[in-house]
Chains A and B, each alone.
Chain A
Amino acid sequence: MTQATQKEKQETDQPVVRMKSQDLSVFYGDQQALFEVNLDIYTNQVTALIGPSGCGKSTFMRCLNRMNDYVEGCRVTGKVRLDGFNIYKNNVDTILLRQKVGMVFQKPNPFPKSIYENVAYGPRIHRLVKTPQDMDALVEKTLRRVGLWDEVADRLSSPGTSLSGGQQQRLCIARAIATRPEVVLMDEPCSALDPIATAKVEELIKELARKFTIVIVTHSMQQAQRVSDQTAFFHMGHIVESGPTTQIFTAPEDQRTRDYIGGKFG
């Protein structure tokens, strides 16, 4: 996408496409998990991926920062564009890509290092801060944003794995946003959180969306409605329907979407 068209779109108050999947198919060995998926992800918007378990939401999300490269026997065809550039081109450096596209995994996976080090690791390898004081400030700020600071301020040196499941999840979110990614992928970030922490994370998502682009997988219809601007409904590896969240939830076109939102299956 050229500068000119971007401007044009902003002027007409159209949302800007940040990422775009084109005829994206994913195979695990012989089994196909995604079938020619086309989806636009807009800048400064939250895109929610919903759908029954096993429909390919995580698979799609992993395509957006090429984490599928690590899955043995996984083959991807089609294109994923970030700012118009195909990230599946051979000469794309995944290190640069993943610094821009951060990820929070479905299962919390903190490093067995200290809580501090968990957050500081990304900024450190990317040399984002210069002095230890700046690092301290960054760690505190990031932990505050995910609402974890008050709980862990006095034990920053204990291992991240010693936290509870919900705390670990928030630590993983902090770890992901500490590197200042521009697109943040969150795979069910609230699955292990209590309502208060959930509310905090949702607030964080909305706040992040002001600057960044967010993609979130969720099984909670309420959450999708609360936080997202766009919604894509996945079913058995296909995108059945996608569009503005209000439209998907108030006037779904497809019968399957209607059934899923209405709680008939999934």
Chain B
Amino acid sequence: MTRLFQRHTRIAVRRVQRKKSPFIYKSYSKKPKHRLLRKRKAQEQRFRRTGLAAIVLASLFLVSLIWNIVASGYSAFTQVQVRIPVTYEQGLIEKEAYRTIIQKSLTELFPNVENRSEKRALFGLISRNAPYILQKEVQNNPSLVGERHEVWLPVSSQISIFYKQELYRQGERGGSVSPTEAAWITALAQSKRMRLSFNAAFFTNGDSREAERAGILASTAGSLLTIIVCVLMAFPLGVATAIYLEEFAPKNWFTDFVEININNLAAVPSIIFGLLGLAVYLNMFGLPRSSSLVGGMVLALLILPVIVIATRNALQAVPRSIRFAAAALGATPTQVVFHHTLIYALPGIMTGVILSIARAFGETAPLLMIGMVAFVVDVPKIFTDPATTLPVQVYLWSNNPELGFVEKTAAAIMVLLAFMALINLLAIYIRQRFEIKW
């Protein structure tokens, strides 16, 4: 009877305990098992927080960098213009004295200015580029001759900086504008003769000594030509090298030696490649200095090891069983590579190549060595034309003491970063879209 009772209660107790799941952990629990769990959880928490902190810190750096560049550069995408009444006098146009035309209309606007130095300051309001703009207009539309129109013309660099400072409250740069000039600007602005417009010239001009005329077209074109040469040379060479080393070469001391050297080359400072290019391409082969041809060839040397390594990694990622499958069907080793391994590795190879192109795109130092620091006004058309690249242009402008180039530098950096972002997006897209998951 007692035994029966005992058994009965035991069952009852077990039932009650069943309701409590053994998988529930409370942070205050004192069970030894839970203590250990608490330790492990704390460890995990620490690790997560450290990771999060690292990411936050890194993003802060990035954001402040970008903020800095954008804040000092965005104004370069706008241009300050002033509206003046222009009389296209036939006599003056025949003499090509467009400067005089502008001076006349300015005098018309401010008739009280008589002092010679004041007059010079007044004429200095307008960009030195303005006469050429008028000239172009007349050439495009000869019927303008003899007529009178209100025309928007860009102001000079100093005035532009001053106006933008007032407008954007950018302060601190301290433009050198006299009180008289400031008064003129204010008067012009009050009579709605000042405006900000999109600075298309920044994208359609080459370099210039005058900040308001300087643009990035020549250097962007130079960059493109350079990258084309670079890819045409580095891509086939690098991929072919990688395929041979990975798929065909016998494993011996020589291939090991080659492999070590390739890995070392990837870590060589880029300026060394510039010196190499100077010695070999320019001095030995006598290729044209500061041309995109030589620039591209130097950059090709620079990214060649990177492409080889990326391609080998992509080839290694293709499982050996796929090679076996093709070989067992009677494919020749070359067919195995070109029908299978290479095809399946291609997305990985392309990602690697694109990322190394991004690296070549941003490279500056080796190009300085081969004279691509040239002052290039005209857009280079063929590979042997003197050219410069976007990052070198940034370098050149950042060294320019003239105030107007500060915003140009930052703006060029923004364009450079935009290109970089585009290239990286392309790489990500290719990886997402085409990569084969094994």
Residues of A near any B CB (own CB < 8 A): 65, 67, 70, 94-96, 98-99, 102-103, 105, 107, 109-112, 121-122, 125-126, 161, 172, 175-176, 179
Contact = CB atoms under 8 A, between A and B. Distances in A.
Counting chain B CB atoms within 10 Å of each CB, the highest count among A105, A111, A172 belongs to A111
B11 interface: no
Given A67-B327, A112-B436, A121-B339, A95 B322 contact: no
A81 to B, nearest CB: 20
Contact of B328 (A65, A96, A126, A161): A65
A67 B324 contact: yes
B328 A95 contact: no
A98 B344 contact: no
B51 interface: no
Contact of A111 (B320, B322, B332, B335): B322
A109 B340 contact: no
Contact of B335 (A96, A99, A125, A176): A125
A67 B323 CA distance: 11
13 contacts: A65-B328, A70-B320, A70-B323, A99-B329, A105-B325, A107-B321, A111-B325, A111-B326, A111-B340, A112-B436, A122-B329, A125-B330, A175-B325
Given A121-B339, A125-B335, A109 B330 contact: no
Interface residues of B, number: 20
A222 B4 CA distance: 53
B329 A98 contact: yes
B372 to A, nearest CB: 43
Contacts of B327: 67, 70, 94, 98
B331 interface: yes
Given A121-B339, A125-B335, A109 B329 contact: no
Interface of B: 319-332, 335, 339-340, 344, 436, 438
Contacts of A179: 329-330
Nearest to B332: A95
A121 B321 contact: no
A121 B323 contact: no
A125 B329 contact: yes
Nearest to A65: B328
A207 to B, nearest CB: 21
B contact face: mostly helix, strand, loop, or mixed? helix
A99 B327 CA distance: 10
Contact of B325 (A96, A126, A172): A172
A121 B328 contact: no
A6 to B, nearest CB: 26
B325 A95 contact: no
Contacts of A94: 327
Contacts of B322: 109, 111-112
B39 to A, nearest CB: 41
A65 B327 CA distance: 10
A83 B247 CA distance: 32
Contact of A109 (B324, B332, B335, B339): B324
Nearest to B340: A111
Contacts of A102: 328-329
Nearest to B321: A109
Given A67-B324, A121-B339, A98 B319 contact: no
B250 to A, nearest CB: 11
A122 B327 CA distance: 10
A30 B326 CA distance: 29
B325 A109 contact: yes
A216 to B, nearest CB: 16
A107 B328 CA distance: 14
A70 B329 contact: no
A126 B339 CA distance: 14
Given A112-B344, A112-B436, A105 B329 contact: no
Contacts of A95: 330-332
Contacts of A176: 328-329
Contacts of A98: 327-330
Contacts of B332: 95
A125 B326 CA distance: 10
B346 to A, nearest CB: 11
